[in-house]
Amino acid sequence: MTAPATSGLRLWIRSETRRAETRVPIVPADASVLIGAGIALTVEESAHRAFPIAGYAAAGAAIARAGSWADADDDFYVLGLKELPAKPFALRHRHVFFGHAYKGQQDGRLLLSRFAAGRGALLDMEYLTDDDGRRLAAFGYWAGYAGAALAVLHRAGLLSAPLQPCSRSDLDEALRRSAGREVTRPLVLGALGRSGRGACAALATAGATPTRWDIAETRVRDLRALLGHDILVNAVLTTRPATPFLTVSDVADPARRLAVISDVTCDVASPFNMLPIYDSVTTWQRPVRRLAEGPPALEIIAIDNLPALLPVEASTDFSAQLLPWLLRLAHQPPSWQRCAQAFDNACQRTGIR
């Protein structure tokens, strides 16, 4: 997909405040494309980004100190991935990132109130979709890959904490070492989606053949079959109420074989959570939490930035998906209009505006 040169559009790539977040929405090679199309690009310095700032400077981007987006001119679109710092409270820019604020998540109302206070706006990339509602830029494949990989490595006794970003070749080598160790019956929910395909690929690298369930197989819950697997990778993200895959009482089933759950969607704070058996995410420092004693014990991995385990691969893939839509941002095509409408709708629902 190509686009005519875009003049007047100014983008600002902010540094991520979370130390474990080393991804970036646009990599240097794609930054060069944006600049070549007439878009003014500023990139903040970062001590932990997977791509050195020198690559952006060589592409022609202006370089700014970390956190200085707050002082940028009002017409900048501020581009990031994860949560904003607590200050400034009032947000006056148009921000493009994953806000996780529209489905009743914890702190969602607070984030929306910050935009109301500064008269800014959120263009949440989760709502950057085509006419059929399919997301146009997502980290799903690498989230699924990392989530399944961590589950396999933990089950095989090869997972150490704290987690560290790595390359795919290093992760795959660890998966190959795990082959044949305790992982015999993995199950992937949402196997046909981006995340599900990534999870299945990681399991294949580990020498495991997963059971693959998607819409047809999850239409009616088969609890006995679900509990009969040793690893469960949940890659199903829903936006409407549905019967959960597992409840607290299900976990107590004495016939349970299930030992490790990796919840890739990590929708714990949402009323649409399909795994309401835990109440908070796990972390890079403590990636695994025990939910029930055994035998076997049941443990969960629920990390909300899984693709950061593979920051170069995940960022490069995501950047290629997002690039065509940033080239069109100034023209406000329907895809970006849907983002704006989702923000307005969320503000109205919560009474912010």
List, by residue number, the catalytic residues.
82, 100
Instruction: Region of 311 please: left (phi>0), alpha (psi -120 to 50) or beta.
Output: alpha
Q: Which two tokens stand for residue 216?
A: 């047809």
Q: Which two tokens stand for residue 339?
A: 């983002």
Block residue for tokens 């190509």: 2
The CA-atom distances, in angstroms, between 82 and each of 17, 194, 331 are 8, 20, 25
Q: Which two tokens stand for residue 65?
A: 């100190």
* H/E element, 212: strand 211-213
Count of Cβ atoms closer than 10 Å to residue 136 Cβ? 16
Block residue for tokens 């600049």: 35
Task: Tell me, rounded to whole angstroms, the distance of Cα 336 from its chain centroid.
Answer: 19
The C-alpha angle with vertex 12 and arms to 7 and 17, in degrees rounded to 5, equals 170
Tell me if 219 sits within 8 A of 263, measured CB to CB: no
